[in-house]
Chains A and B, each alone.
Chain A
Amino acid sequence: MTAQSPQLRQVRARRSLWESTRRTLSSAPFSAWFGMIVILLYVIAAVFAPWIAPYGEAEIVGKAYQPPGPEFWFGTDQIGRDLFSRLIYGARNTIGIAFLTTLLSFAVGGTLGVLTALKRGWLDQGISRVVDAFLAIPVLIFALMLLAVFGKSIVNLILILALLDSTRVFRLARATALDVVVMDYVEAAKLRGEGMGWIIFKEVLPNILPPLITEFGLRFCFVFLTIASLSFLGVGIQPPTADWGSMVAESKTLITFPVRTFPWIPAPFYPALAIAILTVAINFVVDWFLHKTSGLRDEV
C-alpha cells in the first residue's frame, strides 16, 4: 500500500519490542487468548506434574473404576490408578514426547529443506527422491515395522516418528525456502562470500519461520494422534507410562459401554478430551499467527 503516512512509520519505529508484543497481544482475538491460556496451563501441568499430581504416575491407589470424588477427582482407571494424576503425568509425557519429536523432525527436515533449496542439483534430487519414497510408505505401518526392528523404547519412538515427520517438514521448508533464496539479501550474502551455515541459519531460516512455526503447531498435534494410533495397534508408549494416546487406547473398550453403567464420564474420555482441547487451542493460536503474518487484513 502506498498509503502509509510517515507519522505512522515513526510511531512504529519508536515502539519498543515489549510494547509491540503487548500491542500484538492486545489485538489478539478471543480464540487466540483462549488458546494461549490453555497451552500455558498444559505446560505448567507438564512441568510441575510431580508437585501437582496427588498420586504417583503408576501408583495403584484404589479399586478399579471408582467414581470421581473428593479422593479421586476424576475417579480411578481399570486397575485403580488415580485418573487425575495419570492425566497430569500424561501431559508431561505426551507433550514432552511430542515436543521432542517435532523439534527433532524440524531440525532435520528444516535444515535439509533449506539446504536443498539453496544448493539444488543432484543433492536436491537425491534427497527429494528418498523423501518421496518415505512419504509414499504409510506412516503407521512403517512406524510399526521400524519399532519392531529397533524395539519399542520411548527414545526409538521419538526418533522414528521424528524421522517420518521430518519428510513432511522437509517438503514445506524446501518449498518456502525456494521463495526466500531468490531474495537479494541472500545473493548479497553469497557475494560477500558467506558460508552455507550462515546463509541457512542467519539469512534464510529466520525468514521462513512463520510457516514453519505454523506447521510446527499442527505436526505437534499429529504426533500424539499418531502415538494414540500406534498404542491402539499395540506398539505405542508402553504401560505403565501415562500418555494420553495410550490411555485412550488402553481403556478403549469402555467407550462403547452404555454410559448409564457409568454415572460419570468413562475413563477414556478424559485423555481424549485433553488431546482435543490442546489441539484446538494450538490451532487457534496458529490460525491467529498465520493471520497476522499473512498480508491479509480483515475488514474493520
Chain B
Amino acid sequence: MNDTQNKLDAALRQAVRGRITRREFTQLALASGVSLAAANSMFTKAYADEPKKGGTLKIGVGHGATTDSMDPGTYPDQFTGTALWGTLSNSLTEIDADGNVVGDIAESFEASDGAKKWVFKLRKGVTFHDGRAVTADDVVASLQHHRGEDSKSAAKSLLKEIVTLKADGDTVVFELTGGNADFPYTVSDYHMPIMPKKDDGSVDWESGNRTGAYKLDKFEPGVKASFSKNPNYYKADRGWFDAVEFYSIKDVAARTNALMSGEIHYMDRCDLKTLDMLKSNPDITVQEITGYGHYIYVMNVTQKPFDDVNVRLAIKYSINRDDVLEKVFLGHGTVGNDNPIAPTVKFAVDPQPRHSYNPDKAKEHLKKAGLDSLTFDLSVADAAFSGAVDSALLWKEHAKACNIDINVIREPDDGYWDNVWLKKPFVASYWSGRPTVDWMMTTAYAADAAWNDTFWKNPRFNELLVAARSETDEAKRAAMYAEMQQILHDDGGLVNILFNSYVEAHAKNLGHNKVAANWQLDGMRIAERWWFTS
C-alpha cells in the first residue's frame, strides 16, 4: 500500500460521502498520475462500495464449542472472539485497519510519568444495550474481572503489570509496574470487553448486556449465535446490517459448501487445497491477509545442544522456508526470518542477514560449534498449527544436506499444549501474534515472560524492552525495537517458518474498507465494519 494510494482511498471515501466533489477527486487523481478513465471508474466503483444499511449477515466460523461461555476471560477463539466481542462488545480501545490503536469506549488516552501512569477518558453517550450509560466503574469492574487470585481469565497475565486501576469521574486511571507506551494496545484485547457492573461490585458477563453494534438475541454454544442491530450504537458509521448470525461449522468442507450454496456469506479458514476451485466460483471473493500469526519451531536454549548459538544458527540455516511455504502451505503466507514481529506491525524490521536455506553456512556454524554433524528430536503435532508435521518432515529432508539429522516425533494432538509445549526441548508452536512489538516480546521473549517458550534470557534485549516501553520518542523507540528484533533474530531460539495468511472467502455482494490484519474476520469486528453492497 503506497502513500498516494492511501491518499486516493481517503479522498474517495470523502468523495462518496459527498464531503468533496467528484471534480475535486478527479483532479486529485490526475495529479497523482491516474488516467481520467481510471479515476472515473474508481469513483463509480467506490460509489457502489458506499455502505448500505440492511440485510442479515451469516458467517460460518471454523471454531466454536459447546463449552464456549459468555465469560470473556475464557473466549478461546474466533467464534467467541468475533461474535461475543467483535459483534456484541467494545473494549477501551481498538486496533484500526492500519494497525494503529484508537479509542473505542475510551475517547482518548494519555500517558504520564514515563508511560507508567495511564489515563483513559471515556466517550460520552456510550450506553449498554439496556440503555444504561457506561461509567468508569463499569470499566474498572470489567478489567478487574481478569485480575486477582481466582481469575480464570486468559488475559490475566496481560494485566499483571497493572498495580492499581481506579475510576475517576469519567476517566479511568491505571498505575503500572513499569512504563509501557503500548498499554492502550493491551486493553484493546478481545478478552477485555466493557461490561456493566453489578451491585455486588462484580461484573455481569453472563447476560450479554454490552455496548456493541448488535444486541445478543440467542447464543447456542457450539452451534449458533444471532444478533440484531443496536439502534442507538454510538458509532454512526458502523453496524450496517439488520442482523448478524454466526454458525459454528468446524468441517471445512461443510463451511465451503455452505458458502457456495449461499447459506452463509462469509467463511474463515478456507481449505487451501481447493482454493483455486473456490476462486473460480463467480459469486465468491477469496481474500488473503497476512496477519500477525506465525508458525514457529522453538528450542529450549538452556538445554544442550541448543545452548550454543552456533548450533542455533546452523539449525536456522538448515530449513528451506520457501519450499515449506510452497509445498505445505501452498504459498499462502510470508516466509519468516526468525523475527516474531509481522511486517505489518509498527516498528517491524527485517533483520539481516536473512535466514534462508544455506547448507554451507549451516555446516560452517556447526564447525564453529565444534561439530561436524548434529542430531536432535523435534516434537510436533498438528495441534500446534496444521501443517506442523508435514513441515517438520520436509525440514528433515532439507537438513540432511547440512549434516543435520532431525528425528521428527509426532505427539498426540490432545493435550499438546500441556504435555509437549514448554516441556520438550524442541517443539512446534504457534503465536497468533500481537499488534505491537512490545506486547509480542513481553509475552514470549522477555526473560520473565509467562510463555517464554524458548527459555531465552538476553540481558541487553530485556533492558531494551523495558527502556522502549517508557520511551515516548517514536524515533528512539524504533531504533530500540530494531535492535531487539536483530538480537532475537541472531541469538534467539525460535525458527520462524512463516507468517500465515488469513485466507477467508465471502459472497461478492459484501462491501468493506481496508481489512485489518490483527485478527481474522477483519480484526474480529467484521459485523460492525462490513455491509451489503446489494
Residues of A within 8 A of B (CB): 60, 64, 78-80, 148, 151-152, 234-235, 238-240, 251-257, 261
A253 partner, pick from B273, B328, B410, beta carbons under 8 A: B273
B252 is an interface residue with CB less than 8 A from chain A: yes
Known contacts A151-B412, A238-B389, A239-B389; A253 and B274 CB within 8 A of each other: yes
| Also in contact, A148 and B271, with CB within 8 A (given A252-B253, A256-B257) | no
A residues less than 8 Å from B414 (CB atoms): 148
Closest 6 CB pairs of A and B: A78-B273, A148-B414, A253-B253, A253-B271, A253-B274, A257-B277
**Residues in chain B within 8 A of chain A (CB atoms):** 252-253, 256-257, 260, 271, 273-274, 277, 280, 327-328, 330, 389-390, 393, 410, 412-414
Contacts of A152 in B (CB 8 A): 410, 412-413
Q: Is the CB of B412 within 8 A of A253?
A: no
Contact for B256 among A78, A148, A235, A253, CB less than 8 A: A253
Closest to B415 in A: A148
**A254 in complex: contacting residue of B274, B389, B393, B413, CB < 8 Å:** B274
Closest residue on chain B to residue A238 by CB atoms: B410
Q: Please give the distance in Å from B420's CB to the nearest CB on chain A.
A: 12
> What's the dominant secondary structure at chain A's contact region?
loop
Are B253 and A256 neighbours in the complex by a CB distance under 8 Å? yes
Contact B256 A256 (CB under 8 A): yes
Shortest CB–CB separation between residue B278 and chain A, in angstroms? 8
- Bound CA span A234–B412, Å: 11
**Which chain B residues border A257 with CB–CB below 8 Å?**
274, 277
Instruction: State in angstroms the CA–CA spacing of A254 and B389 once bound together.
Output: 22
Q: How far is the CB of A8 from chain B (nearest CB, A)?
A: 61
**Contact check: which of B253, B327, B330 meets A255 at CB < 8 Å?**
B253
Using known A-B contacts A151-B412, A255-B253, determine if residue A261 contacts B277 with beta carbons closer than 8 Å: yes
Q: 14 extra interchain contacts, Cβ-Cβ under 8 A, other than A60-B327, A64-B330, A253-B271?
A: A79-B390, A80-B327, A148-B412, A148-B413, A234-B413, A239-B389, A239-B390, A240-B390, A240-B393, A254-B273, A256-B253, A256-B256, A256-B260, A257-B274
* Across-interface contacts of A234 in B (CB, < 8 A): 413
* Chain A residues within an 8 Å CB radius of B252: 253
Question: Across the interface, do A64 and B273 meet the contact criterion of CB distance under 8 Å?
Answer: yes
Closest residue of chain B to A235 (Cβ to Cβ) is B413
Neighbouring A residues of B277 by C-beta, 8 Å? 254, 257, 261
User: In the complex, A152→B412 CA distance in Å?
Assistant: 7
Picked from B327, B389, B413, the residue with its CB within 8 Å of the CB of A79 is B327
Residue of A nearest to B278 (CB): A257
In the complex, A110→B362 CA distance in Å? 58
B258 CB, nearest partner CB in chain A, Å: 10
